Amino acid sequence: MTNINYPLKFNNVGRTAETDYDRHVYNMIEQVLFTAAGERVNRPTFGSGLLQLVFMPNSDELASATRFLVQSALQQWLGDLIIVNDVRVLNEDSTLQVTIDYTIIRTKERTVELFTRTI
């Protein structure tokens, strides 16, 4: 199976760049996290709405809601590829940091990744 690199780019021979499976899963998680609902034409419910929470007042309740939002979006869209073990959220000023501890089902490899966006 071909794993297309995200964001889409071309390799040195002018073909669509490919990546390994672990990086492909990382790229899919990133797409789920940072895609707003309604942004995809044929999948209007795809995404997590995470970036909209950056503008909310920072609080423990917001962190809890964000963790729930991220975990449920990943379960909905990538539940057949990963198991989400833990989600940690840090919202400081205009930076949103989400740390996700997940296990790739196919390889049984446990991974912890930090996803960051500055608004």
For residue 99, what are its two tokens? 């740390």
Q: What is the pLDDT of residue 28?
A: 93
Is 54 inside any structural domain?
yes
CA distance 111 to 103: 6
Residue 89 lies in a domain: yes
Domain containing 75 equals 21-118
Query: Where do the DSSP E strands lie in the chain?
Result: 82-92, 95-104, 109-118
Domain count, the chain: 1
Three-class SS state of 76? helix
Interval 66-97: pLDDT, tens: 889 999 999 999 999 999 999 998 877 667 78
- 8 falls within a domain: no
CATH code of the domain in which 105 resides: 3.10.450.40
Q: Domain for residue 4, yes or no?
A: no
Number of H helices, E strands in the chain: 2, 3
pLDDT tens digit sequence for 9-44: 888 888 888 888 999 999 999 999 989 888 888 999
From its phi and psi, is residue 113 left (phi > 0), alpha (psi between -120 and 50) or beta? Answer: beta
